[in-house]
Amino acid sequence: MSPSTGRIATDRIATARPAGLQLDQAFNVDSFAARHGGVTRSAFKAGVRVYSQGAPADAIFYIQHGQIQLSVLSDQGKEAIIGILDAGDFCGEACLIGERQQVSTATCLENSSVARLERTAVMQAIHADSHFAGFYLVYNLNRGVMLRDSLISHLFYSSEGRLARTLLLLADSGGDGGADNVIGKIDQEALAQMVGTTRSRVNHFMTKFRKLGYIDYNGHSNRNINVRSALLNAALRDNLLGGTGDPASASHRRGQEQA
């Protein structure tokens, strides 16, 4: 996924992206459609929902182009962002394990092209096409690793460390591994919903990160964030974030309520 899983077992870092069974052949929508049918392609504008939490779930979705945010709403109206997906990612797979309703909401962050794959076609493809089955298994094993890393980051890290990890994940989503990576179009409210804290805490830590040179904003108008990945990653690894003077540090946090 990224170099940002921090200090959780060093070998996790190297293996988060697929290595063994390879995902090297990208998923080909056309050949899937030709072999198994059940494919509908659609274009969505930024801000439009592909599906909503609670809507009938009878297909999975493959992002051909663009970026999609997955969010979950609690009964009390709290929103949490559980993933930002890029081209090449799938979502909506809960229908394959018997969910009748979507368990999250998928919203396009950019103009996106999305292929809808009917549940029955996907089930048939897993059954009849061992190449697809292997590909889809690997995709989901990797997704499981990412989810588990996110969960572990909650169990180990303070909200500050989780914010650092989230920034690194977002900065790395281009995958070019450069020293500086730019994150566009993400507000502090969304960051708070991804980290599981409040907007004011995010603001506090972002200011701190900027003073320490881990990030900077290029220009006030577009609010793009430059992430100095190497520095931020090192700070996370060396446990510098939320040092002993900070009540939200990892060593203090485990006794606290979740923000």
C-alpha R_g of the chain: 19
Report the residue number, 81 or 181, with the smaller CB distance to other proteins.
Answer: 81
Closest CA to 82 of 71, 66, 93: 71
Least CB distance to other proteins at residue 100 (A): 8
Check binding of 240 to other proteins (CB under 8 A): no
- Stretch of 43-51, 153-161, 210-218, 227-235 lying at the interface with other proteins (CB under 8 A): 153-161
How close are the terminal C-alpha atoms of the chain, in Å? 26
Check binding of 155 to other proteins (CB under 8 A): yes
For residue 151 the two structure tokens come to: 């969960």
Subset of 98-117 contacting other proteins (CB under 8 A): 99, 101, 103
Subset of 74-103 contacting other proteins (CB under 8 A): 74-76, 78, 80, 82, 93-94, 96-97, 99, 101, 103
Check binding of 200 to other proteins (CB under 8 A): no
Closest CA to 47 of 66, 23, 22, 26: 66
* Beta-sheet pairing, 215-218 with 224-228: antiparallel
Report the residue number, 112 or 159, with the smaller CB distance to other proteins.
Answer: 159
Report the residue number, 145 or 231, with the smaller CB distance to other proteins.
Answer: 145
What is the three-class DSSP state of 233? Answer: helix
What is the three-class DSSP state of 141? Answer: helix
Check binding of 41 to other proteins (CB under 8 A): no
